[in-house]
A and B are shown apart, each in its own frame.
Chain A
Amino acid sequence: MPETALSSATPDAAASAVLEVRDLSAAYGGPDVLSAVTLGVRTGETVAVLGANTAGKTTLLRAISGLIPKARGHIAFEGLALLGRPAHTIPGLGIGHVPEGRHVFPRMTTLDNLMMGAFFHRGAKDIAERLERVFTLFPRLQERQAQLAGSMSGGEQQMVSIGRALMGKPKLLLLDEPSHGLAPIVVDELHGAIGAINRQGVSVLLVEQNAMLALSVAHRGYVLEAGHVVLSGSSQSLSADPGVRRAYLGV
């Protein structure tokens, strides 16, 4: 049942992979938080990474974004090796990262937060158009554009954080626990938005503790346990897997 992860041995799969992670290990000075993780995202896919709190999900995303200088292994984005690149050059390649805990710029307005998302593309002519697209996705942000992001609700801050990442015109969006700590109705809205973003052609790597939610929007998923990929497969097969159901779906 577990689907084979993308491997560079099959050129066709590699060509259609927007993200390829092979044998990735990472540590923060102590024992490895990730050990030999291999996974991939194909162009146009939404892929979920499930796992408990300390499974290494956030570390995986941080390593992709270059925030963990000591990560070892291989990460390729559209065939380009990422490890060793300075973190601030990664968004320019087409990777948007919505970090865990939202990390909006609290003393900036919503509008300035969104504009910062286009920082790498400053001077680009289509910034107004991108902004328009973010406002279409999250009409609330248009209403609140003059409000300081730090004074907004958690759900609105999450929208700002996602909108900010979209302003960078990503081909791949990394989402770290977007539903964490939010009311169910807001979570539904956000997951609707993630689906819409994906349908616009943005590939998504979604990290979630809430496995049910994640599998409802993802095509495929990986289960991470203590830094290892222990299971992978389509969303249907994962939701049907007894182990996953017991550990992550609470049934």
Chain B
Amino acid sequence: MLQALIDGILLGGVYGVIATGLSLVFGVLGVVNFAHAEFLMLGMYVAWFAWRWLGLDPLLGSVLSFVIVFAVGYVVQRTLIERVLKAPPAAQVFLTVGLLIAIENAALMVFGSEFRSVSVPYQVQGYRLGDIFIGAPYLYAFAAAVILAAALWLFLERSWTGRAIRAVAQDAMAATLVGVDTKRTYGLAFGLGVALTAFGGAVILPYITVSPTVGGQFVVLMFTVVVLGGLGSVAGALAGGIMVGVVQSMSTLIFPIQLQNLCLFVIFIAVLALRPQGLIKGA
């Protein structure tokens, strides 16, 4: 029981960072990015190649994932997403779903369909505290996620660019009137959003294999986290991530492991039906 709780928290911290990216994009641009999980996949591939070619541990490669996917995201936003910012939601859905299909198939062409994984020395190591076993890759991924979340918080609260992103999210016209270039800010926010998710993908590479369709595993999870935390709320997404991790991990105590996502679906639908503004207030 306690073991499942700890496993869930360790998983959930990473889910939180992954979903924070999605939440940030929605909060600032007002666009639901259905292609978001594809950037997770890209982040995983960047980290995989960094490991294969440069010998970088995915925990370090994650920085590279962050930077490269940020750049990709910025360009995607300025060239594609920007065109539908003021369009009806249907146009936004078509674009981001189209993007999802395009990125996934491009990845299939470029990377092939095989599953790839890394091998790192700490992969099967862990720490034992009484009856509790904490897997090293889970612990390190969680720690990296927490560090990134803290850095994100500092960035949004304290830096000029971070404040500008929040300002644009809250009132784009007023932000313009104080000299914020909203188009550039939308690009930065989208880049940052997909980069956060890519980072999350990279740090879980030691325990999850990557393939071009890996994003599919994370789509529902990501949206559940964000729905729990309230779409557009960064702090909520982190808390929602931990909740989802715990639910997933706890449900394996009761149900067979194949059904762990069933619990998520049920919660996802229940929250949407009963409390569409999210479980967590404010932030």
Contact = CB atoms under 8 A, between A and B. Distances in A.
Interface string A69-96: 0000000000000000011111110000
A27 interface: no
B114 interface: no
B170 A119 contact: no
A50 B181 CA distance: 31
Contacts of A92: 179
B171 interface: yes
B180 interface: yes
Contacts of A90: 179
Nearest to A103: B174
A91 B179 CA distance: 6
B61 to A, nearest CB: 33
A91 B178 contact: yes
Contacts of B36: none
A4 B138 CA distance: 76
Contact of A105 (B166, B176, B181): B166
Given A105-B166, A105-B167, A108-B167, A120 B173 contact: no
Given A103-B173, A105-B170, A108-B166, A119 B181 contact: no
Contacts of B175: 105, 116
Interface in B165-201: 166-167, 170-171, 173-182
A107 B181 contact: no
A56 interface: no
Size bin of chain B's contact surface: 10 to 19
Given A87-B176, A99-B174, A105-B174, A116 B163 contact: yes
Contacts of B160: 119, 122
A91 B164 CA distance: 15
A65 interface: yes
A119 B179 contact: yes
Nearest to B157: A112
A96 to B, nearest CB: 8
Contacts of A107: 166, 170
A170 to B, nearest CB: 11
A155 interface: no
Interface in A164-180: 164-165, 167-168
B171 A103 contact: yes
Contacts of A167: 178
Interface centre among B166, B173, B176, B179 (most CB of A within 10 A): B179
B164 A88 contact: no
B173 A88 contact: no
Contact of B178 (A67, A106, A117): A117
A159 interface: no
A89 B170 contact: no
Contacts of B166: 105, 107-108
A99 B173 contact: yes
A119 B174 contact: no
A229 interface: no
B173 A119 contact: no
Contacts of A89: 179
A104 B179 CA distance: 14
A119 B173 CA distance: 14
Interface string A104-133: 111110001001110110100000000000
A90 B163 CA distance: 20
Contacts of B177: 65, 87, 91, 97, 99, 103, 165
B163 A88 contact: no
A40 to B, nearest CB: 22
Given A105-B167, A107-B166, A116 B178 contact: yes
A164 B177 CA distance: 10
A67 to B, nearest CB: 7
Nearest to B283: A107
Given A105-B166, A107-B166, A108-B166, A88 B176 contact: yes
Contact of B176 (A67, A115, A117, A165): A67
A119 B164 contact: yes
Contact of A120 (B167, B174, B179): B179
23 contacts: A65-B176, A65-B177, A67-B173, A67-B176, A87-B176, A88-B180, A89-B179, A99-B173, A105-B167, A106-B171, A107-B170, A116-B164, A116-B167, A116-B178, A116-B180, A119-B163, A119-B164, A119-B167, A119-B179, A119-B180, A122-B160, A165-B177, A168-B178
Q: When A and B form their complex, which 6 residue pairs have the shortest distance between CB atoms, in order from nearest? A: A120-B179, A103-B174, A91-B179, A122-B160, A105-B170, A88-B181
Given A90-B179, A92-B179, A119-B160, 17 more contacts: A65-B176, A67-B173, A67-B176, A87-B177, A88-B179, A88-B180, A99-B177, A103-B174, A104-B174, A108-B167, A116-B178, A117-B178, A119-B164, A119-B180, A122-B160, A167-B178, A168-B179
